[in-house]
Amino acid sequence: MNRPHEADSSAERPPRVLDVAPLQQAIAGFARERDWERFHSPKNLAMALCGEVGELVELFQWLTEEASHEVGRDPATARPVRDELADVLIYLVRLAAVLGVDLDEAVRSKLATNAVKYPVVRSRGSAAKSSLR
């Protein structure tokens, strides 16, 4: 039988939308085995993340809108796109871990903020930026 405070605490806890703990552990182990932890400052990780995003963007440079939809299926670009997406994710997850950011909480919070900032009734079908901050 649950004690009242146990039921209350689980009712207050929103469901997880993202669980990166196993990935964080794998990345941390990879870095630790290579003695790279000393290089993984927030500044260095943020810069590396930008570099990887740049490499991903380069794969889309000069493509038409139509061609951009095919990069994941085109044999010439599928592997490079997959690899760059993985690099972006790895650096993002590592940066969050080094900063102590709970990505699940951050994502849930940002989705809630965006729901207020971009209500369906005003935002459906529109790419316009919100004037709300």
Q: Which residues of 50-89 are buried (b: 16+ CB within 10 A; e: fewer)?
A: eebeeebeebeeeeeeeeeeebeeeeebeeebeebeebbe
One-letter amino acid identity for 21? A
CA distance 86 to 65: 23
The number of beta carbons lying within 10 Å of the beta carbon of residue 27 is 18
Tokens standing for 112? Answer: 């809630």
Helix 78-99 to helix 42-60 angle, to the nearest 10 degrees?
Answer: 160
> What pLDDT is recorded for position 129?
83
> What pLDDT is recorded for position 9?
53
pTM of the prediction? 0.85
Task: Name the architecture of domain 19-103.
Answer: Orthogonal Bundle (1.10)
> What pLDDT is recorded for position 117?
94
> What pLDDT is recorded for position 115?
95
Domain coordinates of the chain in residue numbers? Answer: 19-103
> What pLDDT is recorded for position 89?
98
> What pLDDT is recorded for position 101?
98
The ranges of the chain with pLDDT < 50 are 1-4
The number of beta carbons lying within 10 Å of the beta carbon of residue 94 is 22
> What pLDDT is recorded for position 96?
98
